[in-house]
Amino acid sequence: MELFSNIHKEPLKSPNSIVPAVDTSYVFQKTAKLIMKPKADSFHVEGYDKNTYFKIEQDFSKYVCVNMMYEPIINIRHGFGTEVFEIYIGDKDKTLVASVHTCVSLSSIKFDVEFTNLATNSLDLFQMIIINNYYYCCIYYGKKNEGGPLVCKIKRVPSILNFEYEIEIAPGVDNMLMLGLARCYIGLFDLHRDRQRRRHH
């Protein structure tokens, strides 16, 4: 059985070629370091320079990521109480970017992320692995057990309001999709926390 408790200590590694999913403008040649901070019913996405670059706001049953001109970039949808998420362009559910669903595993909490790679125009895969009681989410391009590189790390950090999320993204990877997956990870943690509370009542 694979042990995953220390995979968050692995270094990030860029894929062999760029991996755009939302738009090539969100693929950078340097490692991106971002922080998602809770603000009322939204998250502000800040750089380490303290500037806010995006906001992820709740809009009924979906979450919409907007730029600072409030233009919608992507939206994240999921059924109530489910672990299935879908990410779309803009604020409508017409152009699917990626779908997130549970991957059966006895050793860890895994989710497969199927998306269309805009560079190859073909179906492609990321894999999310959540470890250490939901404190870390590691995202691999391809499957980890098949040698896929670790391209994104997300760490849950306690803050005054709730939790903040530190995000590190390897060069060559679509940053906007990683932000969408970070919001999925937060949704999965919320589901986990709700289930824990129900068990204790």
pLDDT at 106 over 80: no
Q: Is 156 exposed, middle or buried (0-12, 13-18, 19+ CB in 10 A)?
A: buried
Lowest average pLDDT, out of 1-5, 150-154, 188-192, goes to: 1-5
Domain annotation covers residue 3:
no
pLDDT at 2 over 60: no
Q: Read off φ and ψ for residue 145, nearest 5 degrees.
A: -75, -5
Domain annotation covers residue 83:
yes
pLDDT at 125 over 50: yes
User: Would you place residue 132 in the very low, low, confident or very high pLDDT band (cuts 50, 70, 90)?
Assistant: confident
Closest CA to 154 of 34, 20, 26: 34
CATH of residue 132's domain is 2.40.160.200
pLDDT at 157 over 80: yes
Domain assignment of residue 63, given as a range: 14-196
List, for residues 30-56, the tens digit of each pLDDT value.
Answer: 999 999 999 988 999 999 899 999 999
Per the structure, the count of domains in the chain is 1
Domain annotation covers residue 47:
yes
State the average pLDDT over residues 106-119: 91
Domain annotation covers residue 4:
no
Closest CA to 27 of 152, 155, 185: 152
Q: Which residues contact 135 (CB under 8 A, 6 or more apart)?
A: 155, 156
Task: Report the pLDDT value the prediction gives residue 1, as an integer from 0 to 100.
Answer: 34
pLDDT at 191 over 90: no
Domain annotation covers residue 6:
no
Domain annotation covers residue 183:
yes
Contact 8, 138 (CB under 8 A): yes
Domain annotation covers residue 89:
yes
